[in-house]
Amino acid sequence: MNIKLDSLFEIFNKIRSLDVDSFLNDAKRRIDEIKENPTHFALTTVLQLKLAYDMFDCYLKKQCSLPWKTVVAIFSVLLYLINPFDIIPDFIPGIGYLDDAVAIGVALKLIRDDLRDFAISRGLNLSEYGLD
């Protein structure tokens, strides 16, 4: 899928028309869900990251095709994860993996639809991967 200028304008218009109260309510609801079951949240994130890895492997082996944005997002997050020079060094207790978590979260958000399609093509249970 190519990003077009019209699409960017559409995104900016949505941002400008954002209902702040609705946004904050949705964010609070999601935070409360994560707070109630952080293990499930962590597990689905790890499963999605593994699925992204499998998608990238499939692409590199020329067994499937992916949009360029998905290839770039997966490559970037994998490169960041193996790079020894993090924004926040991993050895710092409590916050060492925070930058890795943010990078993973952003990448997974960008490729969510493609992850979902890939999971469907592999006959995987979407709810196990938090993709339903």
What is the overall mean pLDDT for the chain?
Answer: 85
What pLDDT was estimated at residue 72?
95
Contact in structure between 77 and 103 (CB atoms under 8 Å)? yes
pLDDT digits (tens, 9 = 90+) for 29-45: 877 887 888 888 888 99
Contact in structure between 56 and 70 (CB atoms under 8 Å)? no
> Can you list the pairs that 83-87 forms with residues at least 24 positions away whose Cβ atoms lie under 8 Å?
none
What pLDDT was estimated at residue 1?
45
Contact in structure between 52 and 77 (CB atoms under 8 Å)? yes
* Spatial separation of the C-alpha atoms in residues 29 and 48, rounded to whole Å: 21
**CA neighbours closer than 13 Å in the CB half-sphere of residue 55:** 29
